[in-house]
């Protein structure tokens, strides 16, 4: 039996998989990604698109994502595909009642905001970089490479209206904690370390104990 006969999109109009070919809401595009995510033959669809150099359309993954896979083939396509789909959880897209995008997380500044340029080659047919970040890179010769690059942070930070960090997840214990539970680090998200103070302290104590045992 051909894998296509088991695809979740078997009876779905094909236009939805070619963003820009017709008018669809942001929510509809997003739901299509979720359908691909849960499709029983998604890895077969992705593999065929990569093997046949199919550049347009949504074949399990958006075009920009497939370009990255093509430029740097993953060692295990299935595992990399599943990990890449977690980007949808990190973006945390929210929609208005009419299906238009309300806000989502920018994968460059990590803030949940509104205002994303149309990008039919990307998740939800919108850029993963907010308008403010686009303005900062619009004169950059590397702009297109930046748009092709995704560095989603699993810390899922929350910021106030002034851009100050409210809370984020510690990437060690994965608990969401207030900003004051993280040490200062200018290069970190929100100017804070990735690990919370408790995890940093515990890690230091464990290291000191190991060193003590070595000396003994």
- In this predicted model, what pLDDT tens digit does every residue of 23-68 receive, in sequence order? 789 999 999 999 999 999 999 999 999 999 998 889 999 998 898 8
106 Ramachandran zone, left/alpha/beta (phi>0; psi -120 to 50)? beta
Report yes or no on 201 lying in a domain: yes
CA atoms 145, 151, 156, 158: torsion sign: negative
Q: Write down which residue in 102, 123, 148 finishes a domain.
A: 148
Pair 142, 174 in one domain = no
Looking at the fold, whether 121 and 172 belong to one and the same domain comes out as no
Range of the domain at 179: 158-215
Q: Are residues 64 and 11 in the same domain?
A: yes
Helix H or strand E encompassing 200:
helix 197-215
CA–CA dist 79, 76 (Å, integer): 6
- Could you tell me if 78 and 8 lie in one domain? yes
Tell whether 13 and 111 lie within a shared domain. yes
Same domain assignment for residues 102 and 177: no
Report the alpha-carbon distance of residue 203 to residue 206 in Å, rounded.
5
96 with 197, same domain: the answer is: no
Q: Give the separation between CA 165 and CA 178, rounded to whole angstroms.
A: 8
Taking residue 190's Cβ as centre, other Cβ atoms within 10 Å add up to 21
- Torsion angle of C-alpha atoms 74, 145, 58, 78, degrees rounded to 10: 10
Instruction: Assess whether 188 and 99 both reside in one domain.
Output: no
Point out the domain boundary residue: 123, 148, 173. 148
Same domain, yes or no: 104 and 132: yes
At 195 the pLDDT is 94
Write out pLDDT tens, residues 56-104: 889 999 998 898 898 889 999 999 999 999 989 989 999 999 999 999 9
Q: Residue 196: inside a domain, yes or no?
A: yes
CA 26 to chain centre: 16
pLDDT in tens, 147-206: 555 667 788 888 887 778 899 999 999 999 999 999 998 888 888 899 999 999 999 999
Boundary of a domain, candidates 122, 148, 174: 148
In this structure, the answer to whether residues 114 and 163 fall within a common structural domain is no
Specify if 153 maps to a domain. Answer: no
Same domain, 195 and 92: no
Measuring CA to CA, which residue among 51, 39, 53, 37 is closest to residue 3?
A: 39
Looking at the structure, tell me whether residues 99 and 180 fall in a common domain: no
Q: Phi, psi at residue 176, to the nearest 5°?
A: -80, 130
CA distance 121 to 57: 8
Domains in the chain, number: 2
């Amino acid at each position: 039996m051909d894998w296509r006969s088991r695809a979740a999109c078997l009876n779905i109009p094909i236009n939805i998989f070619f963003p820009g070919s017709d008018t669809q809401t942001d929510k509809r595009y997003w739901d299509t990604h979720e359908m691909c995510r849960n499709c029983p033959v998604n890895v077969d669809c992705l593999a065929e698109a990569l093997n046949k150099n199919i550049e347009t359309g949504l074949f399990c993954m958006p075009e920009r994502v497939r370009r990255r896979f093509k430029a740097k083939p993953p060692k295990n396509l299935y595992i990399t595909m599943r990990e890449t789909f977690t980007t949808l959880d990190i973006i945390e897209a929210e929609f208005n009642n009419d299906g238009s995008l309300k806000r989502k997380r920018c994968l460059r500044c990590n803030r949940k905001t509104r205002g994303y340029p149309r990008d039919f080659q990307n998740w939800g047919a919108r850029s993963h970089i907010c308008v403010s970040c686009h303005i900062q890179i619009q004169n950059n010769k590397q702009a297109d490479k930046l748009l092709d690059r995704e560095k989603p942070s699993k810390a899922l930070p929350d910021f106030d209206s002034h851009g100050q960090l409210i809370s984020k997840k510690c990437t060690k214990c994965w608990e969401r904690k207030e900003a004051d539970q993280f040490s200062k680090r200018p290069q970190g998200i929100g100017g804070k370390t990735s690990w919370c103070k408790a995890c940093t302290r515990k890690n230091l104590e464990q290291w000191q104990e190991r060193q003590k045992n070595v000396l003994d």
